[in-house]
Amino acid sequence: MSARQQLLAAAAERVLIFDGAFGTQIQNRKLSEADYAGDLGLAADQKGNNDILVLTRPDVIGDITRAYLEAGSDVVSTNTFSANRISQADYAAEGLVRDINVASGKLARALADEYAAKDGRPRFVAGAIGPTNKTLSLSPDVEDPGFREIDFDELVAVYKEQAAALVEGGVDFILIETVFDTLNAKAGIMAVKQLERDLGREVPVMISMTLTDLSGRNLSGHTVEAFWYAVRHAKPVTIGLNCSFGAEQLRPHVKVLSQIADTLLMIYPNAGLPNELGEYDEQPETTAGLVKDWADHGQVNILGGCCGSSPAHIAAIAKAVANSEPRKVPAPGPQMRLAGLEAFIAA
């Protein structure tokens, strides 16, 4: 049975649990620059380069991943949000992209398999690919709206390099997450499709959008509904929302997506909204209560946490939805569904 089939089978039985944030957990360790840099001899200061820790402090990443598995995660992600050539160039570490992603994939795979062996319940690994700090849809120069820092083919190549290394490391899925620019997501999809042709097999994708305002649009202006119709052709094993806001603010957008997406719905909100210091105060029981409401209304298949969430949040969510019925995936009839900034459905 393929990873896609296994995940679908598990999700038909219960609401599954994703993991939580890595960044805030790493920050809690109060690591020094020497912890990040290790003995790699890189020219730039490495403090803040969370992805490189899998090479210099794999114990830290392993401990965090294990904590999420202990909390009840069925799906864990690799700590590779910025492990791409564009983002790593900020740290003069672009030459280590393959090493970082392969190592992260292997670490998560080993721990997922360890926990699956304990109780016979499958655990899955999602290879996390962030949006980079570039956008294909918008110009960074207000004086030149036609200017782009990067083109589509270049971003496809960047994503493909990362995805190939994650697959080599043993991930089950490629998670194209925190999508603020729909065209960036399309580049990620193209990269995975090219990789599939190279490998001669399916590499299932998970796709997760992030909203930039309460009206429910991402930075490139697409509504939740339009975004789904723009990426549905990729046949993602999950579609969803992450980061953006807390669960309370995501509620109406989760409802919309749950009604139209004919695939699994994975939602992992922030632990509320940040305070004036940029920290997250929402307690695990509060987050769990909010997302349980989605589960009680049959709107979700997989739940987890993003910024500010911890193993305690994930454990509370797992406990809250343990007896909830999973969302039934709708089967919409054939109809022409198109996407500009908003959805267009031909009558």
- 3-state SS, the chain, equals CCHHHHHHHHHCCCCEECCCCCHHHHHCCCCCHHHHHCCCCCCCCCCCCHHHHHHHCHHHHHHHHHHHHHHCCCEEECCCCCCCHHHHHHHCCHHHHHHHHHHHHHHHHHHHHHHHHHHCCCCEEEEEECCCCCCCCCCCCCCCCCCCCCCHHHHHHHHHHHHHHHHHHCCCEEEEEEECCHHHHHHHHHHHHHHHHHHCCCCCEEEEECCCECCCECCCCCEHHHHHHHHHHHCCCEEEEEEEEEHHHHHHHHHHHHHHCCCEEEEEEECCCECCCCCECCCHHHHHHHHHHHHHCCCCCEECCCCCCCHHHHHHHHHHCCCCCCCCCCCCCCCCEEECCCEEECC
Given this model, what pLDDT does residue 347 score? Answer: 74
Q: Which amino acid belongs to residue 101?
A: N
Per-residue pLDDT, averaged over 141-145, amounts to 92
pLDDT (average), residues 185-200: 98
The answer to whether the CB of 130 falls within 8 A of the CB of 81 is yes
pLDDT attached to residue 277: 87
Q: Could you tell me the CA-to-CA distances from 4 to 11, 79, 176, 263 in Å, in that order?
A: 11, 21, 16, 11
pLDDT at 269 over 90: yes
Q: Residue 228: pLDDT above 90?
A: yes
What is the pLDDT averaged over residues 154-183? 98
- The per-residue pLDDT for 126 is 98
pLDDT band for position 306 (cuts 50, 70, 90): very high
**Averaged pLDDT for residues 104-113:** 98
How confident is the model at residue 328, as a pLDDT?
97
C-alpha span between 114 and 54 (Å, rounded): 18
pLDDT at res. 192: 98
Poorest-pLDDT segment among 2-11, 102-111, 139-148, 223-232: 139-148
Residue 154: pLDDT above 80?
yes
Question: Beta-carbon neighbour count of residue 97 at 10 Å?
Answer: 22
What average pLDDT does the structure give for the chain? Answer: 97
Structure confidence at residue 278 (pLDDT): 87
Give the confidence band of 144 by pLDDT, cuts at 50, 70, 90: very high
- Mean pLDDT, residues 41-61: 97
> What is the mean predicted confidence (pLDDT) over 103-132?
98
Residue range 327-338: average pLDDT? 93
Report CA dihedral (20, 260, 225, 7) to the nearest 10 degrees: 30
